[in-house]
C-alpha cells in the first residue's frame, strides 16, 4: 500500500520527531536549571507534542502496511547561552522539521500517494502553528531584553500551558 521509499522517508521522520522530543527535553532542563519553571513547562509540553507526532506517524506507517524501523536518536544540544539562544535553536530546528515534512509531501505527490499526502496535511498545518508560536515568543523575548519583571510575567504565562492530545 505504501512504497518502500515513502516508508523509509516516514521512518526517518519518526526519528526526527523523536530527536525533537529529546531536544526539547534538553532545553526544558536548561530552563529548570535557570529556575524558569514556566519556560521549562513550555518545552516539556513541546517534547510531549513531538512524541505525539512520532506516534501518529508510527500508527500511519502500520495502517498503510509499512514497517516501522526505530533507529538510534542523536544526542541533542545541551548547552544554551541564554533564553533567546534556546528559542533561536528551537526556531531553526522547527524550520528543519518543516522542510522535512515538505519533502515528504513532495515525494507523496511524485508517487501519486494521495493517502500519505492527505495524512501529511495535518503536519503542514502543525508546522505553521509551531513556527509562528516560537517566532512570536522569540519576538517577545527580544522586546523584554534585560527586563526581569517582564521575563517573570512571560514565565508565569508559559507555566499555564498544558498538553492536550489532538483528536484523532
Do the Cβ atoms of 43 and 24 come closer than 8 Å? yes
Annotated binding residue at 127? yes
Do the Cβ atoms of 87 and 40 come closer than 8 Å? no
Task: Measure the CA angle with vertex 69, ends 46 and 117; round to 5°.
Answer: 65
Q: Phi and psi for 100 in degrees, rounded to 5?
A: -65, -45
Cell match 534585560: residue?
146
Do the Cβ atoms of 95 and 139 come closer than 8 Å? no
Annotated binding residue at 50? yes
Annotated binding residue at 94? yes
Residue ranges for the binding site for Fe cation? 17, 50, 53, 94, 127
Residue ranges for the binding site? 17, 50, 53, 94, 127
Amino acid at each position: 500500500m505504501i512504497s518502500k521509499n515513502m516508508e523509509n522517508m516516514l521512518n526517518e521522520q519518526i526519528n526526527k520527531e523523536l530527536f525533537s522530543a529529546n531536544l526539547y527535553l534538553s532545553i526544558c532542563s536548561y530552563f529548570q536549571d535557570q529556575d524558569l519553571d514556566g519556560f521549562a513547562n513550555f518545552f516539556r509540553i513541546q517534547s510531549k507534542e513531538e512524541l505525539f507526532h512520532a506516534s501518529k506517524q508510527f500508527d500511519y506507517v502500520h495502517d498503510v502496511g509499512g514497517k516501522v524501523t526505530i533507529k538510534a536518536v542523536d544526542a541533542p544540544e545541551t548547552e544554551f547561552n541564554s533564553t533567546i539562544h534556546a528559542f533561536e535553536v528551537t526556531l531553526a530546528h522547527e524550520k528543519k522539521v518543516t522542510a522535512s515534512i515538505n519533502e515528504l509531501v513532495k515525494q507523496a505527490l511524485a508517487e501519486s500517494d494521495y493517502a500519505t499526502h492527505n495524512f501529511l496535511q495535518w503536519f503542514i498545518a502543525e508546522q505553521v502553528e509551531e513556527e509562528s508560536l516560537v517566532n512570536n515568543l522569540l519576538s517577545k523575548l527580544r522586546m523584554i531584553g534585560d527586563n526581569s519583571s517582564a521575563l517573570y510575567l512571560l514565565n508565569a504565562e508559559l507555566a499555564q500551558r498544558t498538553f492536550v492530545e489532538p483528536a484523532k
